[in-house]
Amino acid sequence: MTSTKQPSSESPNHGSTGPGGRTDWAITTGLVLLSAFGYWRTLTHGLLVDDSAEFQTMARLFGHTHPTGYEVYTFVAGVAALVPIGNPATRVTAWSAAAGALTIGLVYLVIRQLGAGVIGAVAGAVSLAVGATFWSQSVIAEVYTTGLLLAAIILGALIRWDTNRDPKWLFIAGVSGGLSLGVHFTNGLFVPAIALFLVLSTRKLDSWKVAIAGAVAGATLAIIAFGIIDLVNPPNQYFDAVIAPSASAWDLEPAQIDGVGERLKFDWTARQFQSQMFSDPGRLMPERWAGFRGSLSEEISLVGLILAGLGAVGLAKRSPRIALLLFLSLLIQLVYAFNYEIGGLVYVFYLPAYLLLALLLGLGLDLVGQGLSRLPLPAKGANQLGMTAIGLLAVLPVLQPNLGSLSVASTPVFDFESYPVESDTELIVAATIRDLPENSVVLTDWDLLYTYVYVASVEQGRDDLLFHETQPADDSEMVAESMLSYVASIAEDRPVFVSDYTDQFRVAGFYLAPVRIGPTRMFRVRLD
């Protein structure tokens, strides 16, 4: 069997030590610190909206979030929220920046482990760091940089194992994969490629046992995290705020999500989003491919794509098994993303593909350097200068649009749908919460649901208030019958408000009276 070749420490395209030496750790540290500085400088501060508000809120309160749960992320972000610097919401966001920076450092090490020199590895890592999608997720409260950090650990551990056959690396890859179940399930899409890689790499049952043991250990930790969060059960956690009152939207009875096992099943099977997956491949795949291809210029330059192509060819010749691992992973990730009808938010599901392209870009630049070293160049070190110039040509076109934001310490204007940015929303919500009557129940849209919960629970200590998403089923704009029944059961005892007029309430026998709560116009829901 072929194995990954290690670069010679004497090659002019590489550092003074082999992969993993002091030079590499120094460069890795520098990349992590530089990335962290850039992401912190462009971080969104304060409370956000939409999913980001949910993560900021539940990391602080230690509660369930929307499927697929993200319990491991909640644990880690919850620890970040305890750091006594700034406000808790910003601390959760800062964890995204930290995870993003750590990912960049690890990508450098993975490229070096694949056999590339320092310049190629730096270029590959930086190309991911400055890409619009990765940058955008590194400066808001989101799960994706944490997920990519685990993905990079998985790939790096597998490649390291392929080099030295030390079983601990298979165990590390397995644990990281198991933990990924509590961060983002798209890391599970690596499994078919990993299984094939192991089939082609070894027939030793012991190796498989180690990998599976690691995966079971990681998954067990994720399940334990879910169970602990389930015990904490803060007010307005996801199952209470969204699923329980609208259970009929998924043909559920409330008792079907009463137990921790039922809630885990609902989360990990993505029950809420199943109808959006592979619903119409013939229509979706061409549309998604066109959108992906059109957005690539914001993620990787033309020079970068060419280098990635060269890297793919070179890796396929030098280490076919690892090439197959990366290529099949890339294909599966894209096929899934192209068949997930989640609207404009699909761009975040391309992140694993950008990670893999960054690895190949670094390998491609290294191949260019090897070619330059064979030419009769006039000056010593000219090949390194040439590689550096080409690396800059690959990176600068992607970095340039956001350099202004970096220089003035503001969040770049990312042209993504529903991308949360800093605004005066928190002030408006705070004034609204102050004027809500005691024991009020508020039905609102997802984009503001957890902004309300955060202000009420974290900032104002108003645990007498309940908040619910009015229409939580993504494949339907109807208010669930169980939600109407729920409102009817509490409307005489508690003040109920809905943020937007919904005719279904009138048809169901309710009267919606316009009211103003602080600066916000709502409707008081009364039994007619």
DSSP of 408-476: HT-------TT-----SHHHHHHHHHHHSPTT-EEEE-HHHHHHHHHIIIIIS--TT-EEEESS--TT-
Q: What percent of the chain has pLDDT over 90?
A: 75
Whether 6 shows a pLDDT value over 60: the answer reads no
Residues, the chain = 528
Band of pLDDT at residue 282, cut at 50, 70 and 90: confident
Instruction: Tell me the average pLDDT across 283-297.
Output: 90
Band of pLDDT at residue 473, cut at 50, 70 and 90: low
Asked whether the beta carbons of 62 and 72 are under 8 A apart, the reply is no
Whether 18 shows a pLDDT value over 60: the answer reads no
Whether 461 shows a pLDDT value over 90: the answer reads yes
Written as one letter, the residue type at 388 is T
Task: Give CA–CA dist 364/369, Å, rounded.
Answer: 9
Quote the distance between the C-alpha of residue 239 and its chain's center: 21
What strands, in cross-sheet order, belong to the sheet with 520-527? Answer: 466-469, 441-444, 496-498, 520-527, 510-517
Give the per-residue pLDDT at 475.
Answer: 56
8-state DSSP, 500: S
Band of pLDDT at residue 474, cut at 50, 70 and 90: low
Domain ranges of the chain: 22-234+279-408, 425-527
DSSP of 18-52: -TTSHHHHHHHHHHHHHHHHHHHHT---S---HHH
Whether 257 shows a pLDDT value over 50: the answer reads yes
**Average predicted confidence (pLDDT) for the chain:** 91
Task: Name the token pair of 223.
Answer: 């399940």
Report CA torsion sign: 449, 453, 455, 456: positive
Whether 13 shows a pLDDT value over 80: the answer reads no
Give the per-residue pLDDT at 251.
Answer: 87
Instruction: Tell me the average pLDDT across 371-383.
Output: 80
Instruction: Tell me the average pLDDT across 45-72.
Output: 94
Asked whether the beta carbons of 180 and 189 are under 8 A apart, the reply is no
Render the burial of 258-268: b for 16+ CB within 10 Å, e for the rest. eeeeebbebbb
Look-up: residue for tokens 């937007």? 500
Band of pLDDT at residue 1, cut at 50, 70 and 90: very low
Give the per-residue pLDDT at 317.
Answer: 95
Whether 17 shows a pLDDT value over 50: the answer reads no
Greater pLDDT, 148 or 344: 148
Instruction: Tell me the average pLDDT across 414-422.
Output: 77
Task: Name the token pair of 247.
Answer: 């259970």
Give the per-residue pLDDT at 58.
Answer: 96
Whether 294 shows a pLDDT value over 80: the answer reads yes
Band of pLDDT at residue 85, cut at 50, 70 and 90: confident
Greater pLDDT, 272 or 461: 461
Quote the distance between the C-alpha of residue 178 and its chain's center: 16
Residue 253: which residues within 8 A CB-CB, separation 6 or more?
247
Band of pLDDT at residue 278, cut at 50, 70 and 90: confident
Task: Give CA–CA dist 87/323, Å, rounded.
Answer: 45
Integer Rg of the chain from CA: 25
Helices (H) and strands (E) in the chain, counts: 22, 5
Band of pLDDT at residue 32, cut at 50, 70 and 90: very high
Give the per-residue pLDDT at 322.
Answer: 96
Instruction: Tell me the average pLDDT across 420-427.
Output: 81
Band of pLDDT at residue 472, cut at 50, 70 and 90: confident
- For residue range 440-458, list pLDDT tens digits in order: 999 999 999 999 999 999 9
Whether 204 shows a pLDDT value over 90: the answer reads no
User: Residue 511 belongs to what H/E stretch?
Assistant: strand 510-517
Band of pLDDT at residue 179, cut at 50, 70 and 90: very high
Instruction: Tell me the average pLDDT across 410-426.
Output: 81
Give the per-residue pLDDT at 526.
Answer: 92
Whether 381 shows a pLDDT value over 50: the answer reads yes
